[in-house]
Amino acid sequence: NENWSLSPEEFEIWDRLYRIKESDGVKEPILPQIQFETLENLEEISKHDEKATRELSLSEWRIWQNRAFPTSMVDHSDRCYHFISVMEMIEVMRHEQGDCSYELEIQPHLRIEDVNVPGNKSHLSMTNST
């Protein structure tokens, strides 16, 4: 087969073994689309029939994600390790009440010349109130 598309034989195999049909009782998997809460959305949002599709979730198994998952041929990237570290940090903070260990650890290092203090309106009090 020299074409980009499937040959009749390949199509037959795909149709028989892999193609999701209504009678299969499984929903067609789809990926979530990018959306920005704080920006005007230019992305085309295609509406899916919720009964026939299942949006793949990137957060459903979050409690598994504070450790590196096994790899096959591709190593974890730096970005991936950053993600794992933050998930672990969140796990550690999950049961904190009120005071935040991260804040207590980091706040003594703050130098006010490093930050923009916009008119100083009520922002300083924020870090002190629960």
Gap between the Cα atoms of 130 and 104, Å rounded: 13
Q: Determine if 47 is a binding residue for other proteins (CB under 8 A).
A: no
End-to-end CA distance of the chain: 66
Among 9, 49, 60, 114, contact with other proteins (rule: CB under 8 A): 114
CB of 58 to other proteins, least distance (A): 15
Gap between the Cα atoms of 14 and 23, Å rounded: 16
Task: Map residue 22 onto helix, strand or coil.
Answer: helix
Residue numbers at the binding site for other proteins (CB under 8 A)? 34, 36, 39-43, 78-79, 82, 85-86, 89-90, 93-94, 96, 98-100, 102-103, 106-111, 114-116, 118, 122-123, 126-127, 130
